[in-house]
Amino acid sequence: AQSVTQLDSQVPVFEEAPVELRCNYSSSVSVYLFWYVQYPNQGLQLLLKYLSGSTLVKGINGFEAEFNKSQTSFHLRKPSVHISDTAEYFCAVTLISNFGNEKLTFGTGTRLTIIP
């Protein structure tokens, strides 16, 4: 079975500073990787995903993530954060299979707080 670890439950960052949110996964087979964001009082929104190809993936709102197979990591980065980036960020994986309905397995989430 696959699993996801987000070691940092809370990350405070000053406005305009860079940020990295860490995600490591475990799986015996190949996976697809995702980052979802949850703004206050809203549902989860897809930030970016890695399915295949270039290991550097760019998403919405200036975020990017790099898939590192040897490190089994998919860390999320942004070079300069804004107050509006304050949210909960979830890393997730799903198995690669012919069955398109595979479930997502989520990490525990990282609460990003931007300090003015």
Partner 1 sequence: EPEVTQTPSHQVTQMGQEVILRCVPISNHLYFYWYRQILGQKVEFLVSFYNNEISEKSEIFDDQFSVERPDGSNFTLKIRSTKLEDSAMYFCASSEQGREKLFFGSGTQLSVL
**Which sign does the torsion angle of CA 27, 29, 30, 33 carry?**
negative
Binding segment for partner 1 (CB under 8 A), chosen from 13-21, 62-70, 71-79, 101-109, is 101-109
With binding defined as CB under 8 A, does residue 8 bind partner 1?
no
DSSP-derived pairing of the beta strands 10-14 and 110-115 = parallel
d(CA 49, CA 113): 23
Binding segment for partner 1 (CB under 8 A), chosen from 22-30, 60-68, 76-84, 96-104, is 96-104
By C-beta, is 29 or 70 nearer to partner 1?
29
Reference 112, options 35, 26, 59; nearest CA is 35
Could you tell me the smallest distance in angstroms from the CB atom of residue 51 to partner 1? Answer: 7
**Going by C-beta distance under 8 Å and a sequence separation of 6 or more, which residues neighbour residue 71?**
24
User: By rule CB under 8 A, what count of residues binds partner 1?
Assistant: 25
d(CA 108, CA 43): 15
With binding defined as CB under 8 A, does residue 64 bind partner 1?
no
29-58 residues in contact with partner 1 (CB under 8 A) are 32, 36, 41-46, 49, 51
Contact set with partner 1 (CB under 8 A): 4, 32, 36, 41-46, 49, 51, 90, 92, 94, 99-109
